[in-house]
């Protein structure tokens, strides 16, 4: 690799780690559904001179001087967001998705107000009111759940909403393989006077591509990260819809104030520029084709996994991600064994809870997989068949392991299992097959040298 010459010269320790990460990404299959590869233009913006400038405030309303060009960049990012998502207002300054979500609470809730969100073990997000999150420490969190088939239990949502009268209802998740029924959530919110915030972090790119329904007509607020399926830098955006402004004419101003001075200082201007570039890329016909291919690939991967004997929560997927139920393979808490085996075999995934998990959040019984990154590299349905076979083979190599009943025995057992898996010749063979396969699908950044 001959890309980071200055770093190589000035800091060999950091250069070595960056070079190692480059090789890891290039020679392996990225199956985590929240990860993706940016374009070279986005990467250039992230490393640009814009990182040197302080810009507290908003375009034409800054506390610092010298922001004429920063104002141009942020205004462009805002206008591109409004156009691509069909909304009247956007704030592009959140540092990431979690700060964006916290800003929503600050904008419309008071400490102690009731809020609702999908339960974390059922596929929800920490910032939607999980008990260890600040969003549950400062607000009264009322989690809702999924049914036996893995779909959100809308009857329970309505019952809980009428019982607790929440100020805010979240729609969104991190491990939910279905489309979201935004319209039904809006109907329930209207019945109790709540705000609906749609967290589209995972599906933003699919929405832009027309591969997933948009919440613009059925939510008051929309939040998103800008990486994941949108394929931009790590960042966040908060939007208000026409419906939101109709409910609260000052909603946009409340959100601006929640970001600064409420939660943040100066925006990361290099990040804002990179977001603007990613949004321009997302407005192209090529991106729409990409988003639709993500979903086709996810469905093809699901079929391959099932054909190779693995069980999926919901039996398949309607979006970009899949959730493996590994209880039939390992019993409770086998996510560690599967994710370790996959990583050793050159495939990166993440252990994850499944609905009504017999394990725990620390020792989950599932693994979450996704297709955004593989699709960026140009892979299609035929390649997903092969990936599914590799996943099944790798997990089979770990099938003998069982999580100890006693919690105190688990760390040592997991460490021993991982050491044994690293010596597994079949996993090493898969790793070599994956490495050869990946050379046909180079990363989109720059050609390796």
Query: Hey, which residues are catalytic here?
Result: 54, 56, 199, 225, 228, 234
Compute the C-alpha angle 430/302/298, nearest 5°: 95
Other beta carbons within 10 angstroms of residue 283's beta carbon come to 13
Q: Is the dihedral of CA 63, 68, 69, 72 positive or negative?
A: positive
Of 248, 329, 266, which Cα lies nearest the Cα of 55? 266
Dihedral (Cα; 337, 343, 346, 348), 10-degree rounding = 110
Name the pairing type of β-strands 29-30 and 347-348. Answer: parallel
Of 77, 158, 166, 79, which Cα lies nearest the Cα of 129? 166
What H or E segment, with its residue span, contains residue 10?
helix 5-10
Q: Could you give the CA distance from residue 151 to residue 209 in angstroms, rounded to a whole number?
A: 23
Compute the C-alpha angle 323/376/380, nearest 5°: 70
Q: Could you give the CA distance from residue 229 to residue 204 in angstroms, rounded to a whole number?
A: 6
- Beta carbons of 207 and 213 less than 8 angstroms apart: yes
Q: Is the peptide bond before 261 cis (omega within 30 degrees of 0)?
A: yes
């Amino acid at each position: 690799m001959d890309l980071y010459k200055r770093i190589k010269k000035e800091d060999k320790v950091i250069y070595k780690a960056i070079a190692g990460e480059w090789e890891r990404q290039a020679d392996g299959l990225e199956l985590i559904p929240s990860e993706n590869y940016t374009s070279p233009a986005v990467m250039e913006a992230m490393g640009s001179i814009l990182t040197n400038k302080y810009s507290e405030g908003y375009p034409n309303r800054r506390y610092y001087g010298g922001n004429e060009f920063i104002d141009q960049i942020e205004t462009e990012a805002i206008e591109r967001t409004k156009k691509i998502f069909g909304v009247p207002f956007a704030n592009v300054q959140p540092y990431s998705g979690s700060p964006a979500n916290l800003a929503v609470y600050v904008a419309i809730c008071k400490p102690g107000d009731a809020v609702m969100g999908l339960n974390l073990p059922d596929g929800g997000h920490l910032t939607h009111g999980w008990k260890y999150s600040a969003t549950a420490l400062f607000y009264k969190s009322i989690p809702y759940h999924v049914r036996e088939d893995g779909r959100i239990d809308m009857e329970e949502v309505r019952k809980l909403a009428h019982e607790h009268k929440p100020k805010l209802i979240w729609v969104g998740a991190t491990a939910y393989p279905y489309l979201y029924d935004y319209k039904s959530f809006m109907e329930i919110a209207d019945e109790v006077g709540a705000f609906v915030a749609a967290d589209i972090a995972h599906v933003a790119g699919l929405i832009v591509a027309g591969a997933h329904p948009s919440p613009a007509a059925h939510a008051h607020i929309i939040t998103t990260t800008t990486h994941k399926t949108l394929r931009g830098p790590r960042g966040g955006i908060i939007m208000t819809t026409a419906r939101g402004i109709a409910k609260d004419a000052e909603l946009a101003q409340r959100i601006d104030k929640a970001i600064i001075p409420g939660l943040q200082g100066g925006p990361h201007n290099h990040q804002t520029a990179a977001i603007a570039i990613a949004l321009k890329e997302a407005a192209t016909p090529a991106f729409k084709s990409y988003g639709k291919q993500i979903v086709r690939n996810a469905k093809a991967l699901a079929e391959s996994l099932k054909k190779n004997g693995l069980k999926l929560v919901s039996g398949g997927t309607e979006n970009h991600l899949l959730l493996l139920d590994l209880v039939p393979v390992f019993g409770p808490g086998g996510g560690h064994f599967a994710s370790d085996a996959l990583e050793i075999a050159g495939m990166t995934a993440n252990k994850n809870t499944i609905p009504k998990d017999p394990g725990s959040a620390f020792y989950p019984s599932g693994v979450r997989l996704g297709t955004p990154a593989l699709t960026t590299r140009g892979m299609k349905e035929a390649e997903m068949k092969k990936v599914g076979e590799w996943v099944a083979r790798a997990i089979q190599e770990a099938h003998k392991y069982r999580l100890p009943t006693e919690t105190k025995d688990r760390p040592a057992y997991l460490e021993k299992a991982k050491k044994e898996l690293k010596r597994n010749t079949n996993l090493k063979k898969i790793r070599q097959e994956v490495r050869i396969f990946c050379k046909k699908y180079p990363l989109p950044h720059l050609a390796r040298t």
